[in-house]
A and B are shown apart, each in its own frame.
Chain A
Amino acid sequence: MMSYSAPIRDLTFAATELADLHGVCRLPGFEEVTAELLQSILEEAGKFAGEVLAPINWSGDQQGVRLENGQVRTADGWQEAYQQFIQGGWNGLPFATEVGGQGLPWLVATAVAEIWHAANMSFSLCPLLTQSAIEAIQAHGSAQQKATYLPKLVSGEWSGTMNLTEPQAGSDLSAVKTRAVAEGDHYLLSGQKIFITYGDHDLTDNIIHLVLARTPHAPPGVKGISLFIVPKFLPDAHGNWKLRNDIETLSLERKLGIHASPTAVLGYGAKSGAVGYLVGEENHGLIYMFTMMNVARHAVGVEGNGVAERAYQQAVAFAAQRIQGREIDDPSGERVAIIHHPDIKRLLLLQKCRIEALRALALLVGGCMDHERRQTDAQLQTRAREMVEIMTPIVKGYATELGLENVSLALQVHGGMGFIEETGAAQHYRDQRITPIYEGTTGIQALDLIGRKLIRDGGAMNGRVIERIREQCGALANARELAAMTDGMAKALAILQESANSIVASAADNMQLPAAVSEPYLRLWGVVACGWQMLKAADVSLTKQQDKQPADGRGDQQDATFYRNKLHTARFYFSSEMPKVHALGEIISTSSQLVVAADASLFQAG
């Protein structure tokens, strides 16, 4: 009923034709990566996801997790699946071979990650968190810390967590209260952390918590936060990691979705103090966190879109077999599957064009992350870094918000059956709902986009990125055939630049004003960035179609269908999604005063 088939053809297309896999393969260290290797990896990942992870997605949701005598137990099948996952070497895909990883590009990792998230979001959160912990230790840990923790985290023998949030410190981490007091070669931590994904579980022998805390004389606010490694088990006298640290799982949250992913309340140091080891220097914790934040935010965007793909597949399958009504222009004809009805087709097309555009955008950013890390040409590296800077909040914010609309549309396709849990569409709707919230809400992403990425340098970097997109769209091989789309793109870019200018200008008067329209601005950027991807996709498809004309063989026939459909999907995007830029431009230019001027009385009942 709820099978999942990885969209390997489209992932390959997006990676090779749109995100420039070949350019990434030329970076130092990636010489062995080829399109064929990507294909094999995606096929095997798709097989594993479809046969091992997807089948326990629903049962995991229904069973959930439980806390028994201070130990969290995951759902049936979770341990076996995790063992298979790490034995397959999947956990270490993008990490350095020196620490046991496979040293593959983030571009490849992004494509594979979509498959895991789509197959089983609750499961895939465990490796996602481990990945973030690895990034943080890799970037800022001491040589000894790297040697101690990285091999086991990369292999997946141990998992990692991120401990930021406290009851009074959510989006505002300056309010963190957890204390860390130096004692010899370590610190003793005490305090409470909430919303800790996979904060405790029974999948690994040890859990490495990365914890934000304050030392006794730290300056107030974000400048006084330090980062600590706090393992669930510490080494005993023989060096065996069996000694239980002073960390207690106080409770598990009851949530709207991701029921199989434990969200823990962790109590640190209730007895003697939890032993922790400082990462880097004191008071630099938040800066360290930010280095891995880009990767984590990008990953959540991929997750939001991955779940939408899963929901879409289910909606298509349902629409193809659900018989209701007759063709609207043939009332006396046979009863037909609802996929024949124009409004159902529209619902499915909307999901398809958005998912494919967001997939391409996420992969493009994955490729830029590789250039950012390994490109030897300084100019190209800067370009890649700027693209990552701008696009990270967009991938996180827009892919999750649009993903939310998409899972809702997927449920809608099912009609009443969608509202019934057994159908399974509801699970995706519930699971996906967290993605615009965690790892920084959409509001936080929007503030990042207008603050650090726009206003800070007066819009210079933003302008450069827009200009590069404009150049690329102006230089398409099939610009003439795609005139309607390139015109639409040019108008959209103009509106985007105009909106950016007005935001920069209004910031000089009063920061309240740009903040009030930051979310519509993020959406505007999202619509345009996705349009850019679909325009490129249309251009490639036209070229490929022409190239393929005289070719022989069945493989090409298969390709011809793919490119024809891709062109169709791109055209639909430009007719149904792109026009939103006009409304968003209007909202940005007219609504900020009204938001700022609204005082508390306006929200009072009555």
Chain B
Amino acid sequence: MKILVAVKRVIDANIRVRVKPDHSGVETANVKMAMNPFCEIAVEEALRIQQAGDAEEVILFSAGPQKCQETIRTGLAMGADRGLHVLTDERLEPLAIAKMIAAAAEQQGADLIILGKQSIDDDHNQTGQIVAALMRRALGSYISEIKKVAGGFAITREIDAGLEKLRITSPAVVTTDLRLNEPRYASLPNIMKAKKKPIDELSVADLGVDIGCRTEILSVVEPPARQAGVMVSDAGELVDKLKNQAKVI
């Protein structure tokens, strides 16, 4: 079995994100970048499946500017075998990314595609679902458990009502939830090995997909600052304010 894992380069989770002065997006210059935490979980799970003897190869995929190779390299240092990088400076929507992942998975013959359930920058929570739809494959989203079984995978999904246990057929697409695993730290020997692992650079044309945007960003703004609170003298005043000022009751 081959596993393809999509990894995204995002602003480091510990950084305070700032909106650009022209409101065209958020500031990414001079900002520390890292692998999307949900993608780290995806890489970790792929490696665990491989270590259990259920997969021969773990391939990492990323699309975006040259620096995305650093993110792939991080995953290679965790233990993945090789990388695919689609070099593009275009703004990428979930649909475009999903098309590229689907095309790459097809080319590579990947039986299982693992993605983070969402990225912490855009919070779309769409890519995995679109990949499954485009490829007409079984989808297991928000998984907290996955196990290879005959003909497919036994998975546990985290849903509003609790945990849903399903069996899905292979080939499949799954997206990781927070509790699936705790990603490992790259070991020093693996960091050194990662240097020699191949990253194939592709162009969008190599994949033959249209990555044109279907949406337009009008404006990006900071959330409104919190207003100072007011002290109320008694319960009556509180009820009055909730009713007439906040209009919540």
Q: Do the beta carbons of A90 and B30 come within 8 Å of each other?
A: no
A102 to B193, CA, bound (A): 11
Q: Which of B175-190 contact A (CB under 8 A)?
A: 185-190
A89 to B30, CA, bound (A): 31
Q: Do the beta carbons of A40 and B194 come within 8 Å of each other?
A: yes
Most buried by B among A88, A92, A555: A88
Residue of A nearest to B15 (CB): A5
With contacts A40-B73, A89-B188 taken as known, whether A557 is within 8 angstroms of B195 at the C-beta atoms is no
Q: Do the beta carbons of B192 and A37 come within 8 Å of each other?
A: yes
A90 to B188, CA, bound (A): 6
Q: Do the beta carbons of A87 and B30 come within 8 Å of each other?
A: no
With contacts A48-B185, A87-B187 taken as known, whether A554 is within 8 angstroms of B29 at the C-beta atoms is yes
A44: Cβ under 8 A from any B Cβ: yes
Measured between beta carbons, the chain A residues less than 8 angstroms from B74 are 40, 43
Q: Do the beta carbons of B188 and A41 come within 8 Å of each other?
A: yes
Q: Do the beta carbons of B186 and A44 come within 8 Å of each other?
A: yes
A52 to B186, CA, bound (A): 13
Residue of A nearest to B78 (CB): A44
User: How extensive is the interface on chain B, given as a class?
Assistant: 10 to 19
With contacts A44-B186, A47-B185 taken as known, whether A102 is within 8 angstroms of B192 at the C-beta atoms is yes
With contacts A52-B185, A88-B185 taken as known, whether A44 is within 8 angstroms of B30 at the C-beta atoms is no
Contact with A along B69-100 (1 / 0, CB 8 A): 00001100100000000000000000000000
A41 to B192, CA, bound (A): 8
B154: Cβ under 8 A from any A Cβ: no
Say which residue of A36, A47, A48, A93 sits within 8 Å of B195 (CB atoms). A36
A555 to B192, CA, bound (A): 24
A40 to B73, CA, bound (A): 9
A604: Cβ under 8 A from any B Cβ: no
User: How extensive is the interface on chain A, given as a class?
Assistant: 20 to 34
Q: Do the beta carbons of B185 and A558 come within 8 Å of each other?
A: no
Q: Do the beta carbons of A32 and B195 come within 8 Å of each other?
A: yes
A561: Cβ under 8 A from any B Cβ: yes
With contacts A47-B185, A84-B185, A88-B185 taken as known, whether A41 is within 8 angstroms of B28 at the C-beta atoms is no
Measured between beta carbons, the chain A residues less than 8 angstroms from B194 are 40
Q: Which of A29-52 contact B (CB under 8 A)?
A: 32, 34, 36-37, 40-41, 43-44, 47-48, 51-52
Measured between beta carbons, the chain A residues less than 8 angstroms from B192 are 32, 37, 102
Q: Do the beta carbons of A102 and B189 come within 8 Å of each other?
A: yes
A52 to B185, CA, bound (A): 10
B contact set with A: CB distance below 8 Å: 14, 28-30, 67, 73-74, 77, 185-192, 194-195
Could you jot down 26 A-B contacts, CB within 8 Å?
A: A32-B195, A37-B192, A40-B73, A40-B77, A40-B195, A41-B191, A43-B74, A44-B77, A44-B191, A48-B185, A51-B185, A52-B185, A87-B187, A88-B185, A88-B186, A88-B187, A89-B187, A89-B189, A89-B190, A92-B188, A93-B188, A102-B189, A554-B29, A554-B30, A558-B29, A561-B30
User: Which 5 A-B pairs give the minimum distances between C-beta atoms?
Assistant: A89-B188, A554-B29, A88-B187, A558-B30, A89-B187
A contact set with B: CB distance below 8 Å: 3, 5, 32, 34, 36-37, 40-41, 43-44, 47-48, 51-52, 84, 87-90, 92-93, 102, 554-555, 557-558, 561
